[in-house]
Structure 1
Amino acid sequence: MQPPVAAVIEAHGTLERLVAGVTDQQLAEASALPGWSRGHVLAHLTDNARMFARLAEHALRGDLVAAYDGGVDERNAIIEATAGRSAAEHRAELAAHSARLEAAWARADDEDWKRSVTFRNADLAATVWARWREAWIHMVDLDLGVRPDDWPEGLATHAIAFLLGRLPAGTRVYAEDVRRQWSVGGRPGTVVTGRVRDLAAWLAGRTPAVSPVAAHGLPALGPWPPHPPQRQNRT
């Protein structure tokens, strides 16, 4: 399956429009993520683009490099160091790194997407899907008007498949509006039903417009998918 480059570019455009009029004061205010200001969220989105661009540029040369040489500590330090930028600085850096990422992807051909990267021990194509998730999920976290109901249907179905491992074995997820289901391997157990975007939001730990339901209550969510990812059964 070809990675959704055009969809990510569209998401970048939506994000840039979302923050086009944001003020310094708004960026200093709390986001929907505990402990992070909107500036932290935007700093993360910007550096995430930089990181993926770096991986892509090296992969296209046949090089394998770490997402962050200093690991998660380096990632967190960059976010803390850049969260306090002015709104104008945030916009400029976001636009620059998003453009750099898109330019790197534009050089990839069908074989290049299979090149290995260290991010989640996957291939270059997987970073496109990851950036799609990052852009739309964190747009909700900015709390500037984008909600899970605004997510593209394809993003929602992808997010459900990606996050399915957060559910206990045997759980089945059914999106009634698109008549599609996913299941976690094991003896059949809980069935969770809802609209596709609501299911994706719930699995992502965000607030759905309408909570999904299950006969005996929603199951507790486990941690975000591990690195490297584990294969799940899906139907």
Structure 2
Amino acid sequence: MMPPLNVVAQGHRRLLEVLSALTDDHVAEPSLLPGWSRGHVLAHLTDNARAFARVSALALRGELVDAYEGGQTERDAIIEGLADRSADEHRDSIARHSAALEAVWSQAAADDWERPVRFRNGDLSGLVHMRWREVWIHLVDLDLGVGPQEWSDEFSCHAVDFLLPRLPDGITLRQTDGPRRWPADVDGIEITGRARDLAAWLAGRTPQRIPTGALPDLLPWPAHPTPIPDEQRLSVR
């Protein structure tokens, strides 16, 4: 299935619009993520694009690699090392790496989107969806005027689909501005709200309107699954 390349590109454009007036003082100020400045969020968005471009380019050649060969330690070190850059450096780097990522994906043919990647034992299409989530959720975390009210219905429903494992048993969600219900085939205590508000709540961000119902404590963010051996993943093609 063709992934949502156009809406990821729209997210990149919105990010660059938001950063057009960014100053060095803004970079150093706290983001909405505990312990991270805006510079940390920007460094993460930049290096996520770089890592995904590398993984994607190699996947198109039939090669499987980790997004970060050094794991979480390498990822965290890169973010710390880039966080204190100037506003101009952040702007230029995000623009360059986002464009490079889009360029790699533009080379994919229709059947390439099912090429396996190690990330979440997924495929190339899954990386596009992951970047979609990274950009729009972290746009909110930057606290530069973008909130969940800008999340489209398409993105919001996708985010709920991905984050549904955070919902405790016996709870269902019902969209009040559309037809969706999660889980679709389970009855339970119902929480209602607009899709963007349900998605924001599940993502641990502040909804524009708090969903209606007794909101439970959420379970952890969906964990990375146990890695599948490369031989087994490549054998499916």
Q: Is TM more than 0.5 here? A: yes
Segments of 5+ residues of structure 1 without an aligned counterpart are 230-235
- Give me the TM-score of the superposition, normalised by structure 2: 0.93
1 CA distance for matches of 2:24 and 2:162?
34
Superposed, which structure 2 residues align to 1:95-134 within 5 Å? 95-134=95-134
State the SS of the aligned residue for 2:192. strand
**2:62 corresponding residue in structure 1:** 62
Superposed, which structure 2 residues align to 1:42-57 within 5 Å? 42-57=42-57
1 CA distance for matches of 2:212 and 2:184?
17
State the SS of the aligned residue for 1:193. strand
Q: Offset at 1:155? A: 0.5
Superposed, which structure 2 residues align to 1:189-200 within 5 Å? 189-200=188-199
**1:233 corresponding residue in structure 2:** none
Count of matched residue positions in the alignment of Structure 1 and Structure 2: 226
Q: Given residue 222 of structure 1, which amino acid in structure 2 is its aligned partner?
A: L
Residue 166 of structure 2 is aligned to residue 166 of structure 1? yes
**1:201 corresponding residue in structure 2:** 200
Superposed, which structure 2 residues align to 1:1-235 within 5 Å? 1-183=1-183, 188-214=187-213, 217-228=214-225
Q: Deviation per CA, 1:179-204, whole angstroms, max 9, x where unpaired?
A: 21111876x33211011100000000
Q: Offset at 1:80? A: 0.3
The Cα RMSD (Å) is 1.3
Q: Given residue 75 of structure 1, which amino acid in structure 2 is its aligned partner?
A: R
1 CA distance for matches of 2:113 and 2:212?
38
Q: Deviation per CA, 1:90-120, whole angstroms, max 9, x where unpaired?
A: 0111011101100000000111100001111
Identity percentage over the alignment?
Answer: 56
Q: Is the 8 A contact 1:114 1:124 kept in 2?
A: yes
Q: Given residue 147 of structure 1, which amino acid in structure 2 is its aligned partner?
A: G
2 CA distance for matches of 1:185 and 1:100?
41
Closer, same or farther: CA 190–170 of 1 in aligned 2, 3 Å? same
